[in-house]
Amino acid sequence: MALPACAARALGPPLQPEREAPARTTCPRRHSRVEAELAASRPGSVAASVRAGPPRGVSRGFNFQPLLDEPLKASSSLAGAARAPLFALLARGRRRRMHDLRRRWDLGSLCRALLTRGLAALGHSLKHVLGAIFSKIFGPLASVGNMDEKSNKLLLALVMLFLFAVIVLQYVCPGTECQLLRLQAFSSPMPDPYRSEDESSARFVPRYNFSRGDLLRKVDFDIKGDDLIVFLHIQKTGGTTFGRHLVRNIQLEQPCECRVGQKKCTCHRPGKRETWLFSRFSTGWSCGLHADWTELTSCVPAVVDSKRDARLRPSRNFHYITILRDPVSRYLSEWRHVQRGATWKASLHVCDGRPPTSEELPSCYTGDDWSGCPLKEFMDCPYNLANNRQVRMLSDLTLVGCYNLSVMPEKQRNKVLLESAKSNLKHMAFFGLTEFQRKTQYLFEKTFNMNFISPFTQYNTTRASSVEINEEIQKRIEGLNFLDMELYSYAKDLFLQRYQFMRQKEHQEARRKRQEQRKFLKGRFLQTHFQSHSQGQSQNPSQNPSQTPNLNANQNVTQNLIPNLIQNLTQSSGQNPSPKENRESQKQSPGQEQSDGNTSNGTHDYIGSVEKWR
């Protein structure tokens, strides 16, 4: 393409190659470095102006020489020294943009070069470090320093693969409870979740003899009917946590509706506008703050059916439940709670239709509360309701004249209260212990046939455990709560025996199901075998006369076994025959009656094992 006359005059005569320089025989883009230096040596060229100083925005201490090599090659590759006048003809703004673009490209090349060199140096250092480690560990066997190039690449590939796996693992499972991190194959077998939370022996020596009816607690709770669960909440026994489990953690057909910011939840029966739970978090303190056994038994029926006439009230089953705690820990926890300002003034203490008078139940403090009370002052008050609180709240106070201490002697009063508390506790539908959270969950699920969503958590660190007391103070606390100490020992023994009995019964049921399954599979196998054998004999009628008696014997055995197999299949399928059919089967097979008697008597093995432990 020809240039205009003005452009030709501005460019001047064409540049001729020098005599010493060799003639160009290659492509213009594949030039030599000599041409680039000649183009840079011409005065007024862009390369010469750039070489005069550092680029704009770059300090003089920066080594910008590598940044200029590529632009020089690019400038000389087009037309040699003739590019400088053409670049000068462009507008100033466009020249500046081209210059900035060129400089950015040069900085990007520099960053890529630095990154490549840095990774190479890191790999070299890592190789030396790993080589030193392997040389110390496997020194006599191999020398990492003399590894060939393939070994170095393999080692680097393994390290990079490990780092990549760590990064992917962090993205896949960022939490500490990731299932991928639980190496079940290399870990020990899962421990029994119902072992003693207090790290005591699972097998204990019973102190009390309980009947089978006392140990077997299975309530036929009909949530769709009229049955009601009543929770007796004793202070500082973990009842708040257990009460939240009842309204938020049970698998129900119609779960409780709990709104944010409200303590009470709506626990209605399926298809009814009626509650199945009487507790703090469902109905509130309808019978008073922390109502005891005496108040609840007289208050709950009237509160639940208050709008109905007494003659029209349904025959409900009231299932009372409660939670107990170690008396010393509970006492210290209540003291710490009183220190923070708790008073429980709203408690009614109604007994025999009236609350106690100020003479019958004096107060231990004169102000609004007892906050900041030291432990010695807390123990010195003779009217403190914290003393033997669990016995008082579980006993029938009407047997001792309520809070009137002048009705009977103190020794007789204490004996009546303790026996009443033990009797009420034993006949309750369920009670749990704070020190055994998982066992409490297990017994509640087996008693009411209701399962919790998430397991209970055992908290061994509480406010009471943080209180350091000496042996003298502990002995005094035990003396102030001697009735609670006796009740807790009784309750713990009964609780653990119930747990052992229910676990043994569960194991027996599992063993019986396995035996029925094996019997069922064996029956199917024998039935299939004899049917195929009889079919094969019927298809081969031409037989020797000597084999005819054997065939008849086999057919008789088959005819006798098939009814028995059908009967076994019917029993193993889980059907419940009528009483008439049971009597007929017992008449037909007396041996089977004996085996059934042994199975039914299997639940009495625990009572015999208790005698062996003693």
Q: Where in the sequence numbering do the catalytic residues fall?
A: 290
- Secondary structure, 3-state, 579-610: HHHHHHHHHHCHHHHHHHHHHHHHHHHHHHHH
Rg of the chain's alpha carbons, rounded to an integer? 46
Q: Which residues make Cβ contacts (< 8 Å) with residue 346, sequence separation at least 6?
A: 285, 288, 289
Furthest-apart CA atoms within the chain: distance in Å: 138
- Secondary structure, 3-state, 387-403: CCHHHHHHCCHHHHCCC
Helix/strand/coil percent split, the chain, to 5: 55, 5, 40
β strands within 302-429, DSSP E: 318-324
Interatomic CA distance for residues 373 and 377, integer angstroms: 7
β strands within 396-483, DSSP E: 430-433
β-partners of residue 541 are none
Q: Which residues make Cβ contacts (< 8 Å) with residue 148, sequence separation at least 6?
A: none
The position carrying tokens 């009977």 is: 408
CA 33, 36, 42, 44 torsion: positive or negative?
A: negative
Q: Which residues make Cβ contacts (< 8 Å) with residue 506, sequence separation at least 6?
A: 446
For the record, the structure tokens of 238 come out as 């973990």
Sheet holding 277-278, edge to edge: 277-278, 228-232, 318-324, 430-433
Helix (H, G, I), strand (E, B) or coil at 417: helix
Contact between 523 and 569 under an 8 Å Cβ cutoff? The reply is yes
Q: Which residues make Cβ contacts (< 8 Å) with residue 90, sequence separation at least 6?
A: 98
β-partners of residue 582 are none
Interatomic CA distance for residues 86 and 101, integer angstroms: 18
User: With left for phi above 0 and alpha for psi between -120 and 50, is residue 205 left, alpha or beta?
Assistant: beta
User: What is residue 190's DSSP assignment?
Assistant: P
Interatomic CA distance for residues 227 and 230, integer angstroms: 10
Interatomic CA distance for residues 62 and 259, integer angstroms: 67
Helix axis angle, 437-448 to 482-539, nearest 10°: 60
User: With left for phi above 0 and alpha for psi between -120 and 50, is residue 259 left, alpha or beta?
Assistant: beta
What number of helices (H) and strands (E) belong to the chain? 21, 6
